[in-house]
Amino acid sequence: MSVRAKKGAKVEQSTLFDASVLGRPLPMVGEQKDIRYYGTVARNVLNGPETTGMGFWSVNPYVGCAFGCAYCYARYTHRWVLDRAATTNPEHEDMQAARDNLSPWLAFERRIFVKQNAADVLRNVLRHGSDKHKALLNGDTIVIGTATDPFQPAERRFRITRSVLEVLADHPGLSICIITKSPLVTRDIDLLKRINRHSSLTVHLSLISTDRELARKLEPRAPTPEARLRALARLRESDIETGINVMPVLPAITDQPQALEHLVKSVAERGASYVNSCALRLRSSARARYLPFIEQEFPQLAKRYRATYTFDHKVSAAYSEALRTTMRSLCEKYGVAYGYYGRNGGEAEIVEERFAGAEQLQLEL
Ligand code: SF4
């Protein structure tokens, strides 16, 4: 999903962790090949619209993401946490080394922070009758996974996202959205069904290409397109609203009409609730990783990418409109709705271009 925040908004940084909590030692709680996991104690896990600058609440059970998508926008959130952790834990050699020796984009993928107390914190803020609980009963949406994939490999071991879902399952009347690339989400179908019975629930599966080799290059450690398509089918068989976010569409790499048609056809055949798309936007931390990646992997495109993104973070309006027109007509052809899936007055509806209108920062998951 593409989640966009108004330019200048303090996206989660102020509430991901309390500075005093960060002062505590951060024990390594696991290791998996070249990835290290550090346990953290979060003060807050439910970030409100006024803090995030986004039109919804967000929950991120982890900081960092092992899937390592070349275009990932979310790396900057990790840098802030790593810097704070290294500064406030001078005796923590791992933290110092990660900050000093790993490039920020790689640290995001290899040093993952695990919010071990996320469920307890969430249960506390959602206690029945609390202000946050009342706001959420009024129709605000909770989005899980705006700055990390909540079902990345860490989740298999730590089950933080599952524990968060367990809390949400105990609170009827909510509007919940999960963003992921991982079929691991199907592990929790039991919980998703429970939530679905008394709350509004949508899963946004991100899929930008059905070409396995291309996907491996762009999203080196993410699940294969086939695995995501199987997850889509399973979720739909379980009556879970599941849409596909073709985000970001990468100019000259994933935007060939035939490739997009194959993608739309594939997800329509598996019952996708909707399809949405958005062209690549590059803010500074994403640009710092993505443009060198293009130089290395797609050198023939480097000049065009530099021309497009050096002085702006987005493609031209003409490109966006052409993409929208193409996707809308493909969706019509294969009988799947085009647009965001949202909730209005308790009823589910497709809300096209829901976040358009302001100058915005794309947060793509
Ligand atoms: S785009 Fe999403 S899945 Fe990919 S690395 Fe970033 S947070 Fe993870």
**pLDDT single digits (tens) 68-102:** 999 998 988 888 888 888 888 888 888 889 898 99
CB count in 10 Å sphere of residue 334: 16
pLDDT: which is higher, 360 or 136:
136
CA dihedral (134, 17, 180, 298) in degrees, to 10, reads 140
- Which of 62, 149, 247 best tests ligand 1's pocket when mutated (most atoms within 8 Å of CB)? 149
Q: Which atom of ligand 1 is nearest to the CA of 179?
A: 2
Instruction: Give the rounded distance of the alpha carbon of 159 from its chain centre.
Output: 17
Q: What is the pLDDT of residues 134-164, one digit of tens each?
A: 889 988 899 999 999 999 999 999 999 999 9
How far is it, in rounded angstroms, from Cα 184 to Cα 66? 14
State which of 79, 161, 181 you would mutate to test the pocket of ligand 1, scoring each by most atoms of that ligand within 8 A of its C-beta. Answer: 181
Amino acid 128 reads H
Q: The whole model's pTM is what? A: 0.89
What is the number of the ligand 1 atom nearest to the C-alpha of 67?
A: 5
Half-sphere exposure of 59 (CA within 13 A, CB side): 30
How many domains would you assign to the chain?
1
Cα–Cα distance measured from residue 239 to residue 196, given in angstroms and rounded to the nearest whole number: 9
- In this structure, is the dihedral angle defined by the CA atoms of residues 114, 117, 119 and 124, taken in order, positive or negative? negative
H/E stretch holding 32:
strand 28-32
Mean pLDDT of the chain: 86
**CATH number (domain holding residue 162):** 3.80.30.30
For residue 10, pLDDT over 70 is answered with no
| In contact, 40 and 114? CB cutoff 8 Å | yes
Domain of residue 347 covers 2-364
Element containing residue 270 per DSSP (H, E): none
CA pair distance 234, 183, nearest whole angstrom = 9
| DSSP letter assigned to residue 313 | S
Angle between helices 93-101 and 75-88 (to 10 degrees): 140
Does the pLDDT value for residue 358 go beyond 50?
A: no
Where do we find the tokens 């500074």? 284
- By the 8 A CB rule, do 251 and 280 touch? yes
Residue 128 Cα to ligand 1 midpoint, Å, equals 33
